[in-house]
Amino acid sequence: MDVGGANVQFGQLSLAALYLLLAAAAARDAASRRVPNGLSVAVAMLGLAVQLGAGGARAALLAGGAALLVLAVLLVPFSRRMVGGGDVKLLVACAAWTGFQRLAIFVLATALAGGLIALAAAVGGLRAPAMATGRAAMPTLDAATLRARLRAVRVPYAIAIAAGAVIALHWRLP
């Protein structure tokens, strides 16, 4: 087997492993609102190995730099409890895959997916019990109660992170 073929096969196997790890993180987050550290570590290590294999030490260092940048940016929201620790670790780990070249696409795709998931969770959390007709009705709420309920909605953000990573890795760059 030639070296190029080995790299292609390693890349395909690595992507398959990434998808399995991201699916496990998303499923775990949806079930328990927790992302296991081991999954984030595995995503990061595999991403850096792929970067090293594809572009050498320079590519791996740049990918690590992208991950450190994401960590630095998220320290303030994490310290204010605006984002969970598991989400931060998974975002940093995925940045090791995207590097600087695809980082903006990753962040934007993750934010858009997260917004859609949050909207779906908020609407689902606000539905009243099904009426005799079988249709759910939106309750009448005052503004303060609505704000309080929306703040209470907890979003399994690993789903959005996984979607953002997949989109970023498959987005065609100009």
Residue 5: the pLDDT is 55
CA distance 51 to 64: 9
Signed CA dihedral, 63, 19, 17, 92: sign only: positive
Comparison of pLDDT for 101 and 11, the residue scoring more = 101
**Residues 6+ away with beta carbon under 8 Å from 37:** 86, 89
pLDDT level of residue 6 (50, 70, 90 thresholds):
low
DSSP 2: -
In tens, the pLDDT along 40-86 reads 999 999 999 999 999 999 999 999 999 999 999 999 999 999 899 99
Residue whose pair of structure tokens reads 């890795």 in the numeric block: 169
In tens, the pLDDT along 38-47 reads 999 999 999 9
Mean pLDDT of the chain: 87
